[in-house]
Structure 1
């Protein structure tokens, strides 16, 4: 039997929850108030995928080791798809305007276009458009 989850929650530690909420709101994301409070904000990626942004002290309650300093080391990359190259640019530009940092130069692989940024807490994000249509002849 292959395991299939109905929902996916990524949990990330954040230093300042209010600034982090504002950052992602400025990009265009919404939050689920049912799973948000003064310790956590539930960022909606889509109907089945969410990012729980947890203040560091609350995040620490779920782990038995130190929180990684992702401002100086990579702890992972959250990669999201976009509907078009223009949508990639729109989201990445909004992230940079909201205070994020470009983490890598844009990459155009022909079939895939990717922009990368760091959020206010140093977490790495990629926005990608993949052209899955066969080349026109």
Structure 2
């Protein structure tokens, strides 16, 4: 296969327990914008200034968007910021479970668990 078949990551999909509560949490705490919602299909579309769309799927299944590496939970979602300390303080202040927060040499890394059990990673690269 010599031709480029895939051109970009269009969107990511994650499970949520309550569509409306999740929309409010991601918009209010992480700065997403709601682009569309289909309650009859249990889905919503959120965006940031850059990058692919985030699609939320409301489900009653016991599931989340994480994986394990050597017994450690790892995030599927990894975002960048220029305000990692402010984000950390805000999330900690609202009771979000912070699982990792430190300078890794190349930049600061923050990992946290959202209200749906999905682990998120955020990086602020050092200058």
Q: TM-score range by the shorter chain?
A: 0.7 to 0.9
Aligned twin of 2:107? 112
TM-score (norm 1): 0.69
Structure 1 residue 91, shift from structure 2 partner: 2.5
Tell me, yes or no, if structure 1 residue 79 matches structure 2 residue 78: yes
How far apart, CA to CA, are the structure 2 residues paired with 1:75 and 1:115?
A: 12
Distance 2:91 2:5 in 1: 34
Residue 99 of structure 2 is aligned with which of 97, 100, 103? Answer: 103
**Distance (Å, rounded) in 1 between the aligned partners of 2:75 and 2:53:** 16
Match of 1:126 among 100, 121, 126: 121
Are 2:19 and 2:57, in contact at CA under 8 Å, matched by a contact in 1? yes
SS in 1 for 2:48: strand
Runs of 5+ in structure 2 lacking a partner?
A: none
Aligned partner of residue 68 in structure 1, secondary structure: coil
Task: Answer whether contact 2:17 2:116 (CA < 8 A) is retained.
Answer: yes
C-alpha distance 99-30 of structure 1, shift in aligned 2 (>3 A): farther
Task: Find the residue that maps to 1:93 and give its secondary structure.
Answer: helix
Give the gaps of 5 or more residues in structure 1.
Answer: 58-65
Counterpart secondary structure, 2:4:
coil
* CA distance in 1: counterparts of 2:65 and 2:12, whole angstroms: 15
TM-score relative to the length of structure 2:
0.74
Which of structure 1's runs of 4+ aligned residues deviate more than 4 A?
Answer: 73-76
Change in 2 beyond 3 A, CA 1:4/1:112: farther
Q: How many residues align?
A: 117
Separation in 2, partners of 1:90, 1:116: 14
Q: Cα RMSD between the aligned structures?
A: 2.7
- More strand by proportion, 1 or 2? 2
Task: Indicate the residue corresponding to 2:44 in structure 1.
Answer: 41
Change (3 A) 1:67 1:5: farther
